[in-house]
Chain A
Amino acid sequence: MTDPAPPRPDPAPTVSRARYDRERRARQEAESLLEAKSRELYVVNQRLMRQAEALEQAVRDRTADLEAARAQAEAASAAKSVFLASMSHEIRTPLNGVLGMAAALGDTPLSVAQRDMLAVIIDSGDMLLSVLNDILDLSKIEAGRFELEDVPFDLAEAVRSVERMHALKAEEKGLDFGVQVRGAGWVRGDPNRLRQVLGNLVSNAIKFTERGLVRVLADLSPPDAAGGVLLRLVVADTGQGIGDDRMAQLFTPYAQGGPAVARQYGGTGLGLSIARQFCRMMGGDLTAESRPGFGSTFTATVRLAVAEAPPLAQPGAVERDFAERLRRQPLSILAAEDNGTNQLVLKGLLRRFDLRVDIVPNGRVAVEAWHRDRPDLILMDVQMPLMNGIEATQAIRRAEAEARRPRTPIIALSANAMRHQIEEYLAVGMDGNVTKPIRRAELIEAIVAVLPRPAPAARACDRPDAVCTPRAG
């Protein structure tokens, strides 16, 4: 094989006209091909650039659309939250009035018929309150703002309180209702949420069981090395059961077992959804098994911690002790509350006690009254016109510090306060908190907790939170 194109021997070769013409023609042809290709390339390039630009524009448009849709959805969600929060306040305030006045009415002489009517009012109000609380709980859970309590409580007592609450209803339906508690003792956790979960399961079991039995088992595991315990709550019934189609929707908010269930049994369809969320927040879960026609079994698990049992206290003792204390030592209370109904409720709740209550409509007047009257204790609503409870508290604490006056205990009266809000109240100088609707026992407990101890030596104490040991003699 010869190597292609070796060097030519002739330094100045002559080329024929025909060869020259052929080479030129070949070259021109190649040039026009090159031109055509260049033009083609340009056109294709232009098309690509337009396409890229169109794609980028499409992406920008789509992104803007999505952004707008997201902003709209967020605004709607925020509006819903604000609406729920304000509705809750708007509903709770009059409900507070209804329940408070109903309780106060119970302290007046009533006929048997009137007493029955009053019981219906209170029951209905309590029910309304629990529906309201369900809606609020769910909106808080959905907003990720739910805060669990962590306090010591008697587990057996918590379970028994649920049993007491539902025993009558079970008896009315002729159901065999039994509660068994295994390994219970004092634990740390959120007793109210636990009662809510168990109460919801028991209430459902009784509601959907026409004959047979409802059994509750509360089973507490032995503590692990870190003092953690697992509580298992099993609620089994011989009711109508839940079909597979409904089982899938069981824990979905507002779903219930279909519209027919809502019509026949009432309820919001929120209970199980909330109960499961609570269980999960407490490190457990809520599951259900059922055979239609044979009954259902719900199993809730939550993680708790073992706790020391506190010294025993007699129920009702706090109020009796308070009344006793007032006989030995007079007490004057200044209450700042703008809402007329709530003012009446406060008066009603405290009427049976021998003490002086002055009520003012806002923080500014409260500060003036505090200067003038030197009350022993202040009940301070948080949301008030002109000057709110927090500002009033700050003003009073400042004035005390300047005048070196002893500290006046201040208790916040808050509507639906969250834990961080209560921490804020304490941080600005309040000493306690009572959540509306106000219950007499809670109010008295809070008052007693912030007052100096009723001993002769107590007068020497300026601060109610100071440790005052009664002196002998």
Chain B
Amino acid sequence: MKGMVFVELLQMAEELLGEDVVDDVLDRCDLSTGGAYNAVGNYPCSELMTLVQAFSSHVGTPVPELQRRFGHWMHARFVKSYPGFFTDKPDALSMFESIEDEVHVEVRKLYPDVELPRFETERIADQALRLTYRSSRPLSDFCHGLVEACLDHYGQPAQVARRDLSGGGESVAEFTVRLGG
């Protein structure tokens, strides 16, 4: 998993809990990296899950809720670092549709060895879209947070229904997004 995700998770934790708490948590976890991460490195996904679990225990927030909040945090980071992806999309649905063929194409230019989740989209109505997330990593809740943050970013009220279709070692989440009240 890209180091950027670890760095951002720790950054978020430091904002919420302070450096001392983060250091404490890192010291208590059994990490092959010793808790040293940089944005361009690659680290085992299991360590991310360990860290999320550790912070969850520390603050008493369930893991799924923490993942969703991390999704919101990460989206804000994307908007700040890569505003170009957002300016030419009229709404969140267009943004979702562009992930696979536009955003991920750019990511692969920077990190040819990156392992990315798949995002399948299907327009089910003019203002409604079905987004299916598939990943070998159990990060459906993180994805849920990203979806919500993206809708917030465009300021459009929307309804999001989520169905878990995971199985066979793969995390699959189907989000049905309807714009409007």
Binding site for B on A (CB under 8 A): 1-6, 15-16, 18-19, 21-27, 29-30, 33-34
Contacts and interface: CB of A to CB of B under 8 A. Distances in A.
Contacts of A30: 38-41
Which residue, A18, A21, A23, has most C-beta atoms of chain B within 10 A?
A: A18
A45 B119 CA distance: 34
Contacts of B38: 26-27, 29-30, 33
B26 interface: yes
A12 to B, nearest CB: 14
B107 interface: no
A28 to B, nearest CB: 9
Interface in B37-83: 37-41, 72-73, 76-77, 80
5 contacts: A1-B149, A4-B76, A22-B26, A22-B34, A30-B39
A22 B73 contact: no
B15 A22 contact: no
Contact of B34 (A2, A15, A25): A25
The 5 closest A-B pairs by CB, nearest first: A25-B36, A30-B38, A22-B36, A26-B38, A26-B36
A2 B12 CA distance: 9
Contacts of A16: 20, 23
Nearest to B75: A1
B41 A2 contact: no
Contacts of A1: 72-73, 76, 149
Interface string B98-122: 0000000000000000000000000
Given A4-B11, A6-B15, A30-B39, 7 more contacts: A1-B76, A3-B76, A4-B80, A21-B36, A26-B38, A29-B41, A33-B38
* Most chain A CB atoms below 10 A, which of B35, B36, B76: B36
Contacts of B76: 1, 3-4
A4 B16 CA distance: 10
B30 interface: no
Contacts of A22: 26, 34-36
A91 to B, nearest CB: 75
B33 to A, nearest CB: 8
B19 A19 contact: yes
A18 B38 CA distance: 16
A4 B11 CA distance: 8
B137 to A, nearest CB: 22
B27 interface: yes
A22 B26 CA distance: 10
B41 A33 contact: yes
Contacts of A25: 33-34, 36
A18 B27 contact: yes
Given A1-B73, A4-B15, A19-B23, A33 B34 contact: no
A4 B36 contact: no
B67 to A, nearest CB: 15
A15 B33 CA distance: 19
Contacts of B27: 18
A18 B73 CA distance: 26
Given A2-B16, A4-B73, A18-B27, A23 B36 contact: yes
A16 B24 CA distance: 11
A226 B72 CA distance: 86
Interface in B113-134: none
Contacts of A26: 36-38, 41
Nearest to A25: B36
A293 B33 CA distance: 95
Contact of A2 (B15, B19, B35, B37): B15
Interface in B76-98: 76-77, 80
Contacts of B16: 2
B41 A5 contact: no
Contacts of A6: 15
A25 B34 CA distance: 9
A274 B16 CA distance: 96
A22 B149 CA distance: 31
Contacts of A2: 15-16, 73
Contacts of B40: 30, 33-34
A2 to B, nearest CB: 5
Which one of B20, B33, B38 has the highest number of Cβ atoms from chain A below 10 Å of its Cβ?
B38
A18 B37 contact: no
Nearest to A13: B19
A3 B12 CA distance: 9
B148 to A, nearest CB: 10
B151 to A, nearest CB: 13
A19 B12 CA distance: 16
A442 B80 CA distance: 99
Contacts of B34: 21-22, 25
A1 B74 CA distance: 10
Residue in B39, B40, B149 with the greatest tally of chain A CB atoms within 10 Å: B40
B150 to A, nearest CB: 13
Contact of B11 (A5, A21, A24): A5
A16 to B, nearest CB: 6
Contacts of A15: 19
B23 A18 contact: yes
Contacts of A34: 40
